[in-house]
Structures are given as structure tokens and as C-alpha cells.
Structure 1
Amino acid sequence: MWTSADRALVGNFGSGQTLTLDQFRLLEPRLPPAKPSGRPRSTDMRNLLDGLFYLVRTGCQWRHLPPSPAFPPGPTV
């Protein structure tokens, strides 16, 4: 979830463009579940989706994805 500290680091990359809680609740059942035998997930799936939608919305290249903590690392997204 976005905090004021994250917004200060990111600037305008995510302001007003992140998924709302209602939007994420609609998408959450469609996300693949974590593997029961593997390590627990360390990536926030809502933040991951925000990164994907940022790439699609802006048309930027993967390597130009804003750095963490704005979004997870490019290879993760």
C-alpha cells in the first residue's frame, strides 16, 4: 500500500494511478496462488500489478521502470 513516504520518494510516478482497494479486490481472485511447498511470497501483489499497469499505461521500457520502492524490481514485474 502506498504511504506518504513512498509518494515522497516516487514523486508523480504513482500518484492517483495506483489500484484502489476495490479494484484490487476484483483482481485478487484471478491472481495465481502462492505455491504451498515453496517460499512464502515476499512481493506485494498489489504493488506488482501497479508496476505492470504503469508499464502498459506509459509505454515505457522495462529497464525504465521506476526503482524500488515505487514498484518491485523489473525482473519481478
Structure 2
Amino acid sequence: MRTKKYPSDTIREQFEIIKPLLEGARKKTKPRTVDLYEVWCAVLYLLRTGCQW
């Protein structure tokens, strides 16, 4: 888990509302190896900053 917080991060309570939608779109194959919350925050960061890939 990262220690630095970014302005684009959501709090975990807000993420819990969105999580069922993200989990429902996932195919059940193998166990997840990354924290879905961290992936969500990374996507929000990219959308907010528009940083280059």
C-alpha cells in the first residue's frame, strides 16, 4: 500500500459504493493480486492529471 495521498483519491467508504459494479464486470477466473481500490485511484489520477502514458 502506498503512503502518499493524491487529491484525486476517494475515501474507502465512497469506493465501497462503486466496488460492486466493478466486481460484477469481472470474469471469475483467478484470485485478484492487486488491490482494486489502488487501481481505481490510479485511474482517477490519470483522468484528473491527463499525464502522458
Q: Match for 1:21 among 12, 24, 40?
A: 12
- Structure 2, unpaired ranges of 5+: none
Aligned equivalents of 1:34 and 1:41: distance in 2?
11
Q: Where do 5+ consecutive residues of structure 1 fail to align?
A: 63-77
TM-score (ref. length: structure 1): 0.54
Runs of 4+ in 1 over 6 A off after TM superposition: none
Q: Which structure's CA Rg is the greater one?
A: 1
Percent identity, aligned pairs only, is 31
Structure showing greater relative contact order (alpha-carbon pairs closer than 8 Å, 6 or more residues apart): 2
Aligned length: 51
Counterpart residue number, 2:34: 43
Q: Which structure dedicates a bigger proportion of its chain to helix?
A: 2
Report the TM-score, using the length of structure 2 for normalisation: 0.73
Q: Is the 8 A contact 1:34 1:40 kept in 2?
A: no
